[in-house]
Amino acid sequence: MPRNPDAYAVVRRVSVGLVLLLAVALVLLSPRFGRAEPEGSYRPVLDPPALELPCYPLPEGLVLDFAHQVRTDGDVEVDGQTDGETRRELVVQYDLVDADEVRERLTASFVEAGFTPETGTGDALVFTRPDTGPVSAEVEQLSGIPDDSTVRGTVLLDLPSVPVASDDPICDDPYATKRFPESWEPAT
């Protein structure tokens, strides 16, 4: 037992005060010691939509004027060609509108971009422009979907192949460009 109980109480109060002061100082200074700054958003940063990237643009002036998301984009060999000719196959899903409205908007977008409508085969829309040649779009409404479904169908665009148009590193990311290697299994 200490000789002076009052001195012990003073030392104890000072020690508790110092500990509390140190704790408050650590809380106030903690953001400067590697603690994360709250941003208010806990969603991951996503790449821009594939067609907004500078990597593989659509033919000049062409814009898809309906809500959509790119599912896949890549080059495929043309059937029956022995010279290795490839075409670009772009698959998008359209949202919130029906197939007839997508066809109307596609036709208007192609005409506005300088394409001339041609006679298609079956349900395919076919357009041509001297610097691009023929392109086609097949619009398919999904069947058996609920009325409140966001995704309503798919559009398969057959376009001329284009080389990568930018050296931006994002152009090497298959998740950004939707140009998945053949060895990857498609999502269902």
Give the chain's mean pLDDT.
88
The per-residue pLDDT for 187 is 67
By three-state DSSP, how is residue 27 classified?
A: helix
Q: Can you give the residue ranges of every domain in the chain?
A: 50-177
pLDDT of residue 85 exceeding 90: no
- Locate tokens 């041509």: which residue? 128
Check pLDDT > 90 for residue 33.
no
pLDDT in tens, 8-31: 788 888 888 888 998 888 778 776
| pLDDT value, residue 182 | 84
Q: Which CA distances in Å does 99 have to 47, 58, 121, 138?
A: 28, 21, 17, 10
* pLDDT score of 171 more than 80: yes
- CB count in 10 Å sphere of residue 54: 13
Q: Is the pLDDT of residue 80 over 70?
A: no
Measure the CA–CA gap between 143 and 140, rounded to whole angstroms. 9
DSSP 144-167: S--TT-SEEEEEEEEEE-------
More confident residue, 100 or 78: 100
- Residue of 56 and 42 predicted with greater confidence: 56
pLDDT for 164 beyond 60 = yes
183 vs 115: which has the higher pLDDT: 115
Q: Percentage of the chain with pLDDT > 70?
A: 89
Lowest mean pLDDT among 2-6, 24-28, 43-47, 57-61: 2-6
**Torsion angle of C-alpha atoms 174, 177, 181, 182, degrees rounded to 10:** 140
pLDDT of residue 37: 67
User: pTM for the whole thing?
Assistant: 0.74
Summarize pLDDT for 173-186 with one digit per residue, the tens: 999 999 999 888 86
Tens digit of each residue's pLDDT (9 = 90 or more) over 61-71? 999 999 999 99
